[in-house]
Amino acid sequence: MNLNNYKKEVVILPDPHIMSCLTQLRLPGMKAEYMRQDDLWHTMEPLPFEERFLMLVNAEQNRRENNKLIKSLRDANLRDKTAALESLIYMPARNIDRQFIARISDCSFIKEGRDVLLTGATGTGKSFLASAFGVAACHAGYSVCTYKMHRLLMDVNVRVNDGTYEKTLASLKKPDLLILEDFGMESISPNFCRYFLEIIDERRYAGRKSFIITAQLPVNEWHHVFEDMTAADAIMDRLVNFGAYRIDLKGPSMREMLTRQTPAGPVM
């Protein structure tokens, strides 16, 4: 028997014990890379052991990071998971400062515990921009959660009535970024004013967690949304006077314009 051929046959076949161990240790990325290297043995053979082993480790690390990102995007419940800051359309009529977006595109506002207040008429791209920041935050390793404001009102009301409000409050203060969509579409009752103030305070005291809030109403009209004026003063003080960034989108309806020009284009 030709020993060279025998050796080659043994090396080419993946070691079943190694495969079994990688499966038991739950290292599918490393296992897939091991099989890839085995398939390309004659190409991989000249590489030092350390370099091949690093490829195995990197494959597993990349798999875990990708899975973490997929989970973060799923948990974020973003309105548009395909939104991206690089897809923003900058037109003078939209009132978007390109340099400002560039400065906070690294999500430094989350690290600083600052909020972003997005206002503008319907169709101007508030949800897209909020989602784009949410996607960027997930990529940067931050946890994100999104609520429509009326859904948050409903959920809190249900949790108060079934005695699980404290559990809900604890979950709302966890995300690094909490996105609240469509603020101001309905008035906020005195009871929920107090709950909303508590949510804001819990997030502030938990480490200056950030909000992104979208609304058609300009910020100077938000005060009238709250039916409890005392709570309104406190809420607006916390939202506006903690260094919040304001972006007031203007211009035509981007939804209508893009529907006419690029029906399938995920840009806004």
What is the pLDDT at residue 242?
83
* Whether the Cβ atoms of residue 113 and residue 178 lie closer than 8 Å to each other: no
What is the pLDDT at residue 262?
54
Does residue 197 register a pLDDT over 60? yes
Does residue 108 register a pLDDT over 90? yes
Above pLDDT 70, what percent of the chain? 90
pLDDT tens readout for residues 122-144: 988 999 999 999 999 999 999 99
Report how far residue 216's alpha carbon sits from residue 120's, in angstroms, rounded to the nearest whole number.
5
* Whether the Cβ atoms of residue 146 and residue 177 lie closer than 8 Å to each other: no
CATH code for the part of the protein at 77-261 = 3.40.50.300
Q: Which of 105, 109, 122, 66 is nearest to 255 (CA)?
A: 122
Lookup: tokens for 224? 């009238």
pTM recorded for the entire structure: 0.80
Report how far residue 164's alpha carbon sits from residue 153's, in angstroms, rounded to the nearest whole number.
14
What is the pLDDT at residue 8?
46
Rg (CA), the chain: 25
Rounded to the nearest integer, the mean pLDDT of the chain is 88
Lookup: tokens for 125? 């791209």
Question: Identity (one letter) of the amino acid at 253?
Answer: S
Report how far residue 185's alpha carbon sits from residue 147's, in angstroms, rounded to the nearest whole number.
13
| Element (DSSP H or E) covering residue 181 | strand 177-183
Residue 181's CB is within 10 A of a number of other CB atoms, namely 23
Higher pLDDT, 250 or 258: 250
Q: Mean per-residue pLDDT for 44-71?
A: 90
What is the pLDDT at residue 1?
46
Report how far residue 140's alpha carbon sits from residue 164's, in angstroms, rounded to the nearest whole number.
32
Give 9's pLDDT tier (boundaries 50, 70, 90): very low
What is the pLDDT at residue 6?
45
Does residue 75 register a pLDDT over 90? yes
Q: Mean per-residue pLDDT for 225-241?
A: 94
User: What value, to the nearest 5°, has the Cα angle with vertex 131 and ends 61 and 154?
Assistant: 110
Does residue 103 register a pLDDT over 90? yes
Domain borders along the chain are 3-70, 77-261
